Structure 1
């Protein structure tokens, strides 16, 4: 009985970790979309996530109905993504990758500053109407909110896969990701493709921002969630949507298992750094990630 109990507890911790990892994947997918087409590590993704969550919850607090607030935030994130591509990426398109990275880093502070100026600095509670009560599935307790987040991520990944595989814009996106110069040679309009990708990344930031905001509260430290996506990208690959999902699952499971089984021996807090240790070790073995198609450039 004791062995059965330990096995059940292990399974419960593992499932909880996997579901938590889905939340990391949602952030990582936004990175992947930008990196695949332009080679830019968009460090402003965290600020976009914060901006989306803060805009939505602030509209709700001002009496805007839930559907209208969602529609307005959705439209704003589309415009923000398009604006970033037009004002930042396009003028710097031929610059070295480090220049583009520094531009997105600076952009993240600009977005946070604008959000603070418009909506203030107070912490907001965001209720999406999703219960966090545990559900018992096969004898394992699972968070209903985590299940909803996992279902949302599954729908998003499926929609993106269908879009990129079966639509003309999606095929153009894949062509640019595979060979930018060949795509230009056959007449593809890169600015339009980049604009579409940045707008899509803005929508992904909206979904991730609402889910993370509902879990942690909408506050300015929410933008630091972007740091959790980095080990996910290292493991999965910077240019693979599937890698972002698999990497998120691995990191989420690793953090939960380490917290429960190793935490008591190292004094706690291991879940905050174990993912980066794993990512560093993985870089030494497979720098391109599990599903990366191109090697990661090193400065």
Structure 2
């Protein structure tokens, strides 16, 4: 195999790993939007908080990494439940822009709290993933990225199956389609909202731990969440499959752009893709095309 081809394969594998984390973060956006029609921009900061919670449990309290990991995920879910019950539910029926701005403010509060508690300097998480080299044929891939890819793939596959076959997944889909009809069928719509926020934020926190294991944690980790927002807009705000395919595709594109054009072009390509996608298919590649009669 030629050196150029091997190099291309290696950066593509790295891009797929990054794309898997984007897809996992995008899943958090989709779960919440699918049930409540709220675009929760604070998902980016919940991702950041997941990394810091792991740092607090593993480095601060000295807990085993395999104890700190589920505690961090539970912490993200607990935050999601508190926010949904105390902030979002009282605003149901309000202008969607108002609810969106509340999530923007929540994100800023989370960043400020993280800086007050842990400081603004980047930190490294205690190692819990092996650094032994991993080769696929002749191509090298970071074991951390490979683990992130597998975890994201399994998690998204589980959610796809749950939404298709599990009764709770059917209830969530029914609530997303028509809340009034869901009420009339005996579905606990507020309970569905709570579950969506808890699971969505727990997913984001888990993605934050994986991202922190690869590149460390900092209060600017929310920028990664903005790329995940691009994924859900391009793939479809209510599509789990769109989050998976869009995340992997964007991860590849960002990796290629960063390598062959330069890191400064990554954001240009990412948000340029967003603009083009919105112009061609504003409801996303796999999103529901809603038609309003005037």
State the TM-score, normalized to the length of structure 2.
Answer: 0.91
Compare 125-134 and 203-212 and name the one that shifted more.
125-134
Equivalent residues of 1:287, 1:296 under 8 A apart? no
SS of 2:261's partner is helix
Partner of 2:254: 255
Aligned-residue Cα RMSD (Å) equals 2.1
Structure 1 residue 295: deviation in Å?
4.8
Secondary structure at the aligned position of 1:136 is classed as strand
The answer on 1:35 being equivalent to 2:33 is: yes
1:291 matched residue in structure 2: 286
Which residue of the partner structure matches residue 123 of structure 1? 122
Counterpart-to-counterpart distance in 2, 1:290 and 1:210: 29
Equivalent residue in structure 2 for 1:47, among 45, 48, 58:
45
Tell me the residue number matched to 2:143. 144
Equivalent in the alignment of 2:239: 240
Unaligned runs of 5+ in 2: none
- Equivalent in the alignment of 2:220: 221
Runs of 4 or more consecutive aligned structure 1 residues displaced over 6 Å after TM superposition: none
Question: How far apart are residue 207 of structure 1 and its match?
Answer: 1.1
Alignment deviations for residues 23-76 of structure 1 (CA, whole Å, 9 cap, x no partner): 111111100111111111101111111112112202222233224333433332
Match of 2:274 in 1: 279
Distance in structure 2 (CA, Å) of the matches to 1:116 and 1:104? 19
Other-structure match for 1:190? 189
Kindly report which structure 2 residues correspond to 1:17-96, keeping only aligned pairs within 5 A, or say none: 17-66=15-64, 67-96=66-95
Report the Cα offset of residue 135 of structure 1. Answer: 2.2
Residue 296 of structure 1 and its aligned partner are, at CA, apart by: 10
Q: State the shift of 1:11 in Å.
A: 2.6
How much has 1:137 moved relative to structure 2? 0.9
Deviations along 1:219-255, whole A, 9 cap, x unmatched? 1111222111122122211111110111111111111
Q: Identify the range of structure 1 (159-168 vs 89-98) with the bigger mean alpha-carbon deviation.
A: 159-168
